[in-house]
Structure 1
Amino acid sequence: MEIKTKPKIFIHSWLSDDLLSKLKNNFDIDHHDTKESILTGKDLLDRVLDVEGILVQSSPIDKKLIESCPNLKIVSNVGVGFDNIDAKLCTKMGIQVTNTPGILNDAVADMSMALLLAVARRVPEGDQIVRSGGFKANFYHLLWGADLKGENLGIIGMGSIGKDVAKRALPFGLNIKYHNRNRLSKDIERSLNAEWMSLLDLLKSCRFIIILCPLTNETKHLITIKELKNMKRDSFLINIARGPIVKESDLIIALEDKFISGCALDVYEFEPNYDIRLARMDNVVLAPHAGSASVKARKGMVELAAKNIEMFFLEKDVLNPVNTIN
């Protein structure tokens, strides 16, 4: 399909030069590279008032923005989670929303295991000892960590990424337990040697717990002081999903009072802000929301988000619809 008048598209993301040039063949592009800054509020609104499409990474596409854009037809999100977009309002207003599932699964699953290993084996502590000149000898008592083999790994959110984490965890000798809104088929459970548990039972029985569920009204503050007190004293919590799933102030209490042994976080309740007390704890591993930050995943996500924009205007279809537009 040929476009006679190029639709105006605002791109709030990194893009390769080749992909940007390709999009300019069919679209009137206004591009803001997010390596420079993340636009929000008026700075973002001023750029999108008359656009027909938005390709967005990170920034909130909220009620005020959506209602201020009378020509908006599609919001293409760079990422699987789309809690930054008011998808319900978009549906009501006939605006297509898309995301980029699948491409980042391997990267996020790899990072989940990296965080687990880092906090269990105290990797950042060791790095700091060497960098600060504290490595004087191979002391026998130095940095004793947690073993993985034979321990229970609890996965909260057994979607496609959760399954990929389970596949990576099995060779370490971890026993796979999971909690999911919908239980997996018995065939899938058998293939992953996975056992479904209630959230309470999972918290009580697992040494390592990885959060991989989406952020919804139901999962916001899924983990509070109540849940943390039910975890094992020698357990570790890893959150690579969305920050607000864990109530950050309660997590700090649990760490300070030694209800749990440690945690690894790639996401934060009020990111990019976080409680500085987390950074002062040796048993806490911190990452800057980099779960999908592999070369293949990040390039692929942007390419898929752009493909959804192209298909919407050129073929009246999309590959990855989040909502249904009548």
Structure 2
Amino acid sequence: MEVTTKPKIFVHSWLSDDLLLRLEKNFNIDHHDTAKSILSGKDLLDRVNDVDGILVQSSLINKSLVESCANLKIVSNVGVGFDNIDAKFCTKKGVQVTNTPGILNDAVADMSMALLLAVARRVPEGDNLVRSGGFKANFYHLLWGADLKGENLGIIGMGSIGKDVAKRALPFGLNIKYHNRNRLSKEIEESLNAEWLSLLDLLKSCRFIIILCPLTNETKHLITIREFKKMKKDSFLINIARGPIVKESDLIIALEDKLISGCALDVYEFEPNYDIKLAKMDNVVLAPHAGSASVKARKGMVELAAKNIEMFFLEKKALNPVNKIN
């Protein structure tokens, strides 16, 4: 089914040539490639004020922007987290919001383990050592890292990605602990050999802690200096969820005061900005919000976001709605 009057869609994302051509069959497409820049403020508003739909990666779709778009009917987000969108106000205005769940699970779970291994076994330090000519004959004393087998892995946020991380961690001999808003069923806990703990008990007992929960009003600054003081001195924190879940200034204090042994970050409280002190610490691994950056996942996310636009206008029902509209 093709629409007779093409809805106008602003695409703020990378698109393959084939996908762009496909969308242009049914829609009037205005495309801005985010590989060039991320639009915001007036630059973004000038491109969207008369559109019927927005396919967005990264940019903030807030109340004032939605209010300025009289024709807006759908915001299709590239990614599973949609904290960049004021979904509550969109619902009030009758604007559908969609996301791209599932398609990125494997990539993010893989990256979670990659970051854990990198910080535990000091992989970036070793890379820098070799590149700088520091690899000499007497290497026995170099880069002693943390073992995984027998240690507790705490997963904060045991959703679909958290479960996939647990499945990957089990063969390493890690003991799975988790904290979640809702406890998993007994059957799922048994299948993952996972134990639910309060957040405090998880922080106290786990050598490795991976943050995988969504960013909400409740989880913003979930980890502050108070929580770092509860953690084991030889523990490692991995954040691959959202930056503001961890108070960055307190993380730096925790590292400087040796309250924890190290951390690995894929996200930052004020990204793309981050405190330069982090880059100067050998026990910190940094990645550029690349958790879903596999070929399959990134292409699949954009494809699914486009499919949500197509289904909404052509079939009157989006595939992955995150809000309910009348």
TM-score by length of 1: 0.99
Distance (whole Å) between structure 2 residues aligned to residue 282 and residue 43 of structure 1: 39
Distance (whole Å) between structure 2 residues aligned to residue 105 and residue 53 of structure 1: 26
Distance (whole Å) between structure 2 residues aligned to residue 64 and residue 138 of structure 1: 62
Q: Does 1:302 align with 2:305?
A: no
Q: Deviations over 1:250-301 (max 9, x none)?
A: 0000000000000000000000000000000000000000000000000000
Counterpart residue number, 2:163: 163
Q: Deviations over 1:46-92 (max 9, x none)?
A: 11010000000000001111011000000000000000000000000
Aligned AA (1:76): S
Distance (whole Å) between structure 2 residues aligned to residue 130 and residue 66 of structure 1: 51
**Equivalent residues in 2 for 1:104-123 (5 A)?**
104-123=104-123
Distance (whole Å) between structure 2 residues aligned to residue 95 and residue 139 of structure 1: 60
Aligned AA (2:59): S
Distance (whole Å) between structure 2 residues aligned to residue 96 and residue 220 of structure 1: 25
Counterpart residue number, 2:83: 83
Distance (whole Å) between structure 2 residues aligned to residue 93 and residue 138 of structure 1: 67
Counterpart residue number, 1:127: 127
Q: Does 1:97 align with 2:129?
A: no
Aligned AA (1:273): N
Counterpart residue number, 1:69: 69
Q: Deviations over 1:143-176 (max 9, x none)?
A: 0000000000000000000000000000000000
Aligned AA (2:150): G
Aligned AA (1:63): K
Distance (whole Å) between structure 2 residues aligned to residue 272 and residue 321 of structure 1: 28
The DSSP-based 3-state class of the residue aligned with 1:300 is helix
Distance (whole Å) between structure 1 residues aligned to residue 28 and residue 137 of structure 2: 62
Aligned AA (2:155): I
Aligned AA (1:84): N
Counterpart residue number, 2:257: 257
Q: Does 1:234 align with 2:220?
A: no
Counterpart residue number, 2:280: 280
- Which structure 2 segments of 5+ residues have no match? none
Q: CA deviation at 1:134?
A: 1.2
Q: CA deviation at 1:138?
A: 4.5
Distance (whole Å) between structure 1 residues aligned to residue 243 and residue 19 of structure 2: 31
Counterpart residue number, 1:189: 189
Give the aligned CA root-mean-square deviation in angstroms: 0.5
Distance (whole Å) between structure 2 residues aligned to residue 9 and residue 198 of structure 1: 45
The DSSP-based 3-state class of the residue aligned with 2:103 is coil
Distance (whole Å) between structure 1 residues aligned to residue 63 and residue 185 of structure 2: 38
Counterpart residue number, 2:14: 14
The DSSP-based 3-state class of the residue aligned with 2:26 is coil
Counterpart residue number, 1:203: 203
Q: Deviations over 1:80-112 (max 9, x none)?
A: 000000000000000000000000000000000
Aligned AA (2:176): I
Distance (whole Å) between structure 2 residues aligned to residue 292 and residue 80 of structure 1: 10
Q: How many residues align?
A: 326
Aligned AA (1:154): G
Distance (whole Å) between structure 2 residues aligned to residue 211 and residue 2 of structure 1: 43
Q: Deviations over 1:175-216 (max 9, x none)?
A: 000000000000000000000000000000000000000000
The DSSP-based 3-state class of the residue aligned with 2:282 is coil
Counterpart residue number, 1:224: 224
Q: Deviations over 1:224-272 (max 9, x none)?
A: 0000100000000000000000000000000000000000000000000
Distance (whole Å) between structure 1 residues aligned to residue 202 and residue 280 of structure 2: 29
Distance (whole Å) between structure 1 residues aligned to residue 114 and residue 171 of structure 2: 14
TM-score by length of 2: 0.99
Q: CA deviation at 1:2?
A: 2.5
Identity of aligned residues (%): 89
Counterpart residue number, 1:154: 154
Q: CA deviation at 1:302?
A: 0.2
Higher mean C-alpha displacement, 126-135 vs 199-208: 126-135
Distance (whole Å) between structure 2 residues aligned to residue 7 and residue 133 of structure 1: 59
Q: CA deviation at 1:137?
A: 2.1
The DSSP-based 3-state class of the residue aligned with 1:25 is helix
**Equivalent residues in 2 for 1:34-49 (5 A)?**
34-49=34-49
Moved over 4 A (4+): none
